[in-house]
Structure 1
């Protein structure tokens, strides 16, 4: 097949316009076009009055060789890439069982790939199965009751389960591992459209059933899940001049022998970070960001981005991505934008408030929300201890808890009051979506001074880019501290810890991913590294292709 890219058509084009455009572009007659399949669809809304749909299509033609030769210098007409996944190894019959710590996107795909290669992995998660975890999460949102081991951060599916379910990233991988992730998601119940949309997403409710389906697949292949199982220590032995992992100490006093361990613990496993540092695992501080969630009526964002075409079903709810470099040297930017979504309580520790955003597949809630955050840096803001970023996060989360009323309500403020430097005593026309509720206050008391100054400078800049962004009734809810892991468990080219052989740091918690898709891809890479390090048989695996 031939892959034809950057094929642009009007938003309101008829069905027959696409094959006609293919024929024009390839300079062939309709009889020469055998069939076509949409590989990717995006939209170009730079001109709101003339929005275009931009396609990549795979086509069968009667004389493929002649067309490829005719367009041999045209980068937009190429042979369709082979995106099939090929396993790198196959487990021998007596293979040891690797252990995966964490059942978020990274751990899920590490476990899946290991299971598909025949390794029968053991997957540990400190939280509960996804439906029980969902009940506990709603317990915080509806009744202000927090379960520190089962919440937005901990449990089957990871933090991405309660998010917008975005399935795109900036990663570039010549092996098309992102395609493997999307294909497995579709097999597990995701809508097939995620294979073609430029910015696919799933939403929380669909993610729940998909995670369950993938767990069943792993178990059918011999994998084993152990929920409500926290790892509280490592058994590390020194031999032949190197440290090597030998087993895991569990929270209930149990012990699990393990020579190959995938560390996919997520970006909020702060007690686990401390345990790993105490065990001597190499760790370093990593940048992250801090700020608030900011809410606008979704209709405002739709009109700002799409003009008169707002509401068109092919466009859906509009997104935005904005950033500004401030005079104090800080960068302010939008993070994890959730069209038609809600702001949710995302803390995992008692006496602290943290926020995040979430959307369902329909994205039809009244408000859009996004992180409105300021980048911070270890050398400048929390030097010294590699875990100092955690202390910084906790400090501001505790301030937010008190400002919200010490009951898991979140501190909130009208944007107009924030810019004027005065506390809010009431909110305006925009109703905040955060549950279990908000308390009007002064968010400047819940954020570093440098962040407040940078955010105040950025607001009018963003208002010029998105009309209505700087409306005084816009709601800000604090605090957003979990943008990414504040640490990195550094690994070598074989994906193993720099100083602890057999330990494979992976995903967001280890500092190597940001979001569902990139975490899942990292899980695949680490699973492959585990298999190869176990002396796997690769003779037959090079030609093995995932179903």
Structure 2
């Protein structure tokens, strides 16, 4: 079995669909006989092959990877597997220590700005649904390498054939630890609680890094895989003249419904069937004001989590465990915005995000409570004074209020129009007691560190912008694939072979 999925478009007759690999004795004859069958073809070769091998003696210093989220983790792993003994710098803590700090915010309202949902081993993807699929093109089947490495590190083998695989937070913790151990065994090095405070650039080339530990690290090749919340790093890069541009992202809220409602709407009489699991959804609405509202990072049977990395600000995100067994479904309901909405230069999007995160902190009453509102009240334009049958999952807690001032007027207007329209696609989506929790601001990076076809920065040789923070991925899967591609380009550069575009 190569792939298993389900077709739930007709709820009265849900079908399981399979793609299977079959070995035959006379392949040519079979292919000729089935030439008119569009879904029959030779199985593609998805084996991963390393593009380079490190020489016994390297003339350049060891390559450095900044950040240990999915992109940095796979960039470091591939470089280690090719023998380049990378140094990985992570400003946060090792994953288990980081988990304790994250729970400190959720349970005690105590934020550690260097160790939280955004910063630390595993990156933001560790506290997510662990989705392992994407709409990106992957002609070289790097995604298979990602899945194989995850299984080797302890992920369930069903991620190799499920059409929409996921892992969940708790499993990701132990997997990340095992992958770090592999990097160490191959001669790599991981340094935690080590932030990059400055980059030395001489005549357009990387020459070294200044670290928060006080060390100056000599290097010529750096993978920049810092994630979308490394705002101080983006400022430093801009100050040093690295070419950065503003890019679109999205703003909105998290919405929570009973998972059973979503299951019944999507699966009808088959809701709860073990082969189907918890139902997910994807909805979109094009508004009369020209904006588009869409669901983002939908987490079946999950929780809304506090995801800020800066004091005095509230940010929401969603996560699920592998079982997806919590009572609520949640998703971002977000509105696309562009640099035209926040003029002021390449870093203006960061200031824009901070403005609304600070507003959410105030509306929540301080102490990292999140502002919330019943969907019925939000649509009607009246404040919520209490919650209903849907118990919000966000910790430290949700403060009922009026979300109309939590985001720009055009975002509020668009979401208010979209929710009743989405209800036509998913019955009950606009139920009165569903809960909106604010704010969702970090859907993707607000900047892009532009790179050339050889994956190096547009104007700094030796700097390889990568992953979600640099504007080249969105989510675990695509970020990991980008990490592989960048690692290959860097390795070829180090041995003097031009990288293919």
* TM-score bracket relative to the smaller structure: over 0.9
Q: SS at the partner of 1:311?
A: coil
Give me the whole-angstrom Cα distance separating, in 2, the residues matched to 1:121 and 1:478: 39
Give me the whole-angstrom Cα distance separating, in 2, the residues matched to 1:259 and 1:507: 20
Deviations 1:131-166 (A, max 9, x none): 000000000000000000000000000000000000
Instruction: Flag the structure with larger Rg.
Output: 1
Give me the whole-angstrom Cα distance separating, in 2, the residues matched to 1:496 and 1:71: 45
Structure 2 partner of 1:349: 310
Deviations 1:382-413 (A, max 9, x none): 12311000001000000000111111000000
- The one of 312, 317, 320 aligned to 1:359: 320
Structure 2 partner of 1:543: none
What displacement does 1:73 show?
A: 4.1
Q: SS at the partner of 1:424?
A: coil
Give me the whole-angstrom Cα distance separating, in 2, the residues matched to 1:62 and 1:124: 51
Q: SS at the partner of 1:61?
A: coil
Give me the whole-angstrom Cα distance separating, in 1, the residues matched to 2:27 and 2:273: 36
Structure 2 partner of 1:82: 45
Structure 2 partner of 1:430: 390
- The one of 236, 252, 258 aligned to 1:297: 258
Deviations 1:348-396 (A, max 9, x none): 0000000000000000000000001110000x20123110000010000
Matched, 1:375 2:340: no
Matched, 1:147 2:82: no
Matched, 1:170 2:135: yes
| Structure 2 residue ranges without an equivalent (≥5) | none
Structure 2 partner of 1:33: none
Structure 1 partner of 2:154: 189
- The one of 93, 104, 124 aligned to 2:56: 93
- The one of 385, 389, 394 aligned to 2:354: 394
Give me the whole-angstrom Cα distance separating, in 1, the residues matched to 2:48 and 2:321: 29
Structure 2 partner of 1:249: 210
Deviations 1:469-504 (A, max 9, x none): 000111000000010000000000000000000000
- Note the aligned Cα RMSD (angstroms): 0.9
With the length of structure 2 as denominator, give the TM-score of the two structures. 0.98
Matched, 1:71 2:21: no
- The one of 289, 292, 313 aligned to 1:331: 292
- The one of 149, 157, 169 aligned to 1:204: 169
Structure 1 partner of 2:493: 533
1:231-242 matched pairs, under 5 angstroms = 231-238=196-203
Structure 2 partner of 1:502: 462
Q: SS at the partner of 1:426?
A: coil
Give me the whole-angstrom Cα distance separating, in 1, the residues matched to 2:56 and 2:200: 26
Check conservation: 1:89, 1:537, Cα contact below 8 A: no
What displacement does 1:536 show?
A: 5.4
Check conservation: 1:281, 1:499, Cα contact below 8 A: yes
Give me the whole-angstrom Cα distance separating, in 1, the residues matched to 2:99 and 2:165: 23
Q: SS at the partner of 1:533?
A: helix
What displacement does 1:93 show?
A: 1.0
Deviations 1:158-208 (A, max 9, x none): 000000000000011111000000000000000000000000000000000
Q: SS at the partner of 1:113?
A: helix
Give me the whole-angstrom Cα distance separating, in 1, the residues matched to 2:87 and 2:35: 49
Q: SS at the partner of 1:79?
A: coil
- The one of 310, 313, 326 aligned to 2:271: 310
With the length of structure 1 as denominator, give the TM-score of the two structures. 0.90
Structure 1 partner of 2:17: 54
Give me the whole-angstrom Cα distance separating, in 2, the residues matched to 1:415 and 1:173: 39
Deviations 1:101-128 (A, max 9, x none): 0000000000000000000000000000
Matched, 1:478 2:438: yes
